[in-house]
Chain A
């Protein structure tokens, strides 16, 4: 050291670190290197693919979206025929993906929370059943579970003529689950209006109750009141306006049912499998979230005289939710992505009708795959953004 300080010109001073010993500079160098590698790699692939397409005589671009698709789809949430365009095919597939994802997320959440809480139950049987549920469904590949529900359960149902009947209104057979479709008549708008009013009033009641508690210390069961309003007011409007709703019942015509609403076996199998598989993971997340709140927290709250329900609501749940939400979000994202296994049983989701049939017919691999990936990326980012918003709200509510 001293030596170096005395004769700086003769040697590199030792206190000046060489640039590959400086963590910041080294990190920067690696970043630049990585970017170069990635850009080079992507460029190579794009160039290669363009060459291939050109040699096979396939044009690039999104013009194909307005071409006629020429194939039918079993489940369409919007109007669609064989003469619709590939663009419409894309929308139909997208809506089907969103449908099964939303249905799956709702049931997986409800079932997962139920099973997670049940695993902590003091009742031996309940706890054991819940833990068996988790262990079984978490450890069997999802594709196998989809096959199980589709081929072993739903394909084993009787033919339409021998349908399983329920109350002469619901029919279950190998072609699907048939039920009456509600057809709103004139004047049904009043019911929707009543629902909107009930929602607004409920929100105000809950706000007012919190404010009143702050000021006077008194509370009343606002959540029950709100539930009553949300059910009661639309019901009242419905009755007052003379029940303006008719039902389109499914009727057996020839070999199949006509009219009403149908849940196709493909949708049912995918929905059930996704829900149960994801619920098993959510159950574990919920259990560990609740267990993460120490026993000392419950004891301290009880010792202050809070009732069991308030201990849960004010102390345990707010802490558990913070642990639960991040992994819960990633389960939702998994469910959305896993819904693409639909292809295996022919449920017409985005991957099946667009990245499958459309791609095969048009050969526009780059555009189709790019659009499909963009859809999943967007859906995932939307769900993440919503869950982050929800998480920060939960954090704020308790403060």
Chain B
């Protein structure tokens, strides 16, 4: 398998003792995570275990209360400047795509390059077309999101993130809202992205995807990282009982 590779030493994302509460509810308990450049991480775990919260803390869609997060050498604190710097370097793909319905596919992709990177429109549209071609959907560029299938929308969402040329990509269950026959077209795009060396953190229950591309699989439960290992060891020889229970549940389905 291609999984065991020589990785860069540069740390792209680091979470140190991250804690988060929703009121009284302790969602994240001492999360420690180090992601090196080019590394592909899959996060799994039962629903409500804090997987989304963990990756949403990385680009400050959620605020953590304790601990440190450093992304691409920028410390994530309350400084808006730092937050915007980090968001420029971190792309995110959501379960429900969240494309902008009032803009065409092309405009969805060109929006951030124009308004954030201050790219001239013609150039921004060229970039957009380049990535739309990469996700094999360039012929839909002038349509509106509502005219596309779920799988196509999710590929557009991936292209939209890539247009900002991010150093890290976060995926939050990118295929769970899709009909089964569309899952593959999205996973294929993600696998290609991995092969090109993108640093990826991916919350997913697609274990086939985890086995092919992940360098490490992380299992979370009740706001904690319970286990983390290379895919082969993780699937064949899970250490904790909770991991075993979880795996037997989803692999039997």
A interface footprint on B81-117 (CB within 8 Å = 1, 0 otherwise): 0001001101110101011111110010001101111
- Least CB distance from A396 to B in Å reads 11
| Residues of B contacting A314 in the complex (Cβ-Cβ under 8 angstroms) | 111, 115
Q: A217-B114, A314-B111, A319-B102 are in contact. Are A304 and B161 (CB under 8 A)?
A: yes
Q: Are B61 and A303 in contact (CB under 8 A)?
A: yes
Is the C-beta of B164 less than 8 angstroms from some C-beta in chain A?
yes
Q: A305-B87, A305-B112 are in contact. Are A217 and B119 (CB under 8 A)?
A: yes
| Residues of B contacting A398 in the complex (Cβ-Cβ under 8 angstroms) | 102-103
Is the C-beta of B120 less than 8 angstroms from some C-beta in chain A?
yes
| Residues of B contacting A310 in the complex (Cβ-Cβ under 8 angstroms) | 115
Complex CA–CA separation, A264 to B123 (angstroms): 60
Q: A305-B87, A306-B116, A307-B84 are in contact. Are A300 and B107 (CB under 8 A)?
A: no
| Residues of A contacting B94 in the complex (Cβ-Cβ under 8 angstroms) | 296, 299-300
| Residues of B contacting A399 in the complex (Cβ-Cβ under 8 angstroms) | 103-104, 107
Q: A218-B118, A314-B111 are in contact. Are A304 and B87 (CB under 8 A)?
A: yes
Q: Are B116 and A300 in contact (CB under 8 A)?
A: no
Q: Are B100 and A306 in contact (CB under 8 A)?
A: no
- Where chain A touches its partner, the secondary structure class is helix
* Interface window among A50-58, A72-80, A208-216: A208-216
- Least CB distance from B95 to A in Å reads 9
Is the C-beta of B1 less than 8 angstroms from some C-beta in chain A?
no
From the candidates A216, A294, A302, A303, name the one contacting B120 in the complex (CB within 8 A): A216
From the candidates A213, A294, A315, A322, name the one contacting B121 in the complex (CB within 8 A): A213
| Residues of A contacting B84 in the complex (Cβ-Cβ under 8 angstroms) | 305, 307
Number of A-B contacts (CB under 8 A): 80
Complex CA–CA separation, A322 to B99 (angstroms): 17
Q: Are B115 and A306 in contact (CB under 8 A)?
A: yes
From the candidates A218, A297, A305, name the one contacting B116 in the complex (CB within 8 A): A305
Q: Are B61 and A302 in contact (CB under 8 A)?
A: yes
Q: Which residue of B lies closest to A321 (CB)?
A: B102
Q: A296-B94, A299-B98, A314-B115 are in contact. Are A214 and B61 (CB under 8 A)?
A: no
Q: Are B91 and A303 in contact (CB under 8 A)?
A: yes
| Residues of B contacting A205 in the complex (Cβ-Cβ under 8 angstroms) | none
Is the C-beta of A160 less than 8 angstroms from some C-beta in chain B?
no
B interface footprint on A264-306 (CB within 8 Å = 1, 0 otherwise): 0000000000000000000000000000001011011111111
Interface residues of B in 143-158 (CB under 8 A from A): 157
Complex CA–CA separation, A213 to B91 (angstroms): 24
Complex CA–CA separation, A124 to B92 (angstroms): 32
| Residues of A contacting B112 in the complex (Cβ-Cβ under 8 angstroms) | 304-306
From the candidates A296, A299, A301, A303, name the one contacting B90 in the complex (CB within 8 A): A303
- Least CB distance from B240 to A in Å reads 32
Complex CA–CA separation, A305 to B90 (angstroms): 9
| Residues of A contacting B160 in the complex (Cβ-Cβ under 8 angstroms) | 304
Which B residues lie at the A interface, using CB under 8 A?
Answer: 59, 61, 80, 84, 87-88, 90-92, 94, 96, 98-104, 107, 111-112, 114-124, 157, 160-161, 164
Q: A300-B92, A304-B112, A306-B115 are in contact. List 14 more A-B contacts (CB 8 A).
A: A214-B122, A217-B120, A299-B61, A299-B94, A300-B94, A302-B87, A303-B87, A303-B91, A303-B92, A304-B160, A304-B161, A306-B111, A395-B102, A398-B103
- A-B contacts, 21 of them at CB < 8 A, read A214-B120, A214-B122, A216-B120, A217-B114, A217-B118, A217-B119, A217-B124, A218-B118, A302-B61, A303-B61, A303-B87, A303-B91, A304-B87, A304-B111, A305-B84, A305-B87, A305-B164, A310-B115, A314-B115, A315-B100, A319-B102
**Interface pairs A-B: 9 shortest CB-CB:** A300-B98, A217-B118, A304-B112, A214-B121, A296-B98, A305-B87, A305-B88, A303-B92, A305-B116
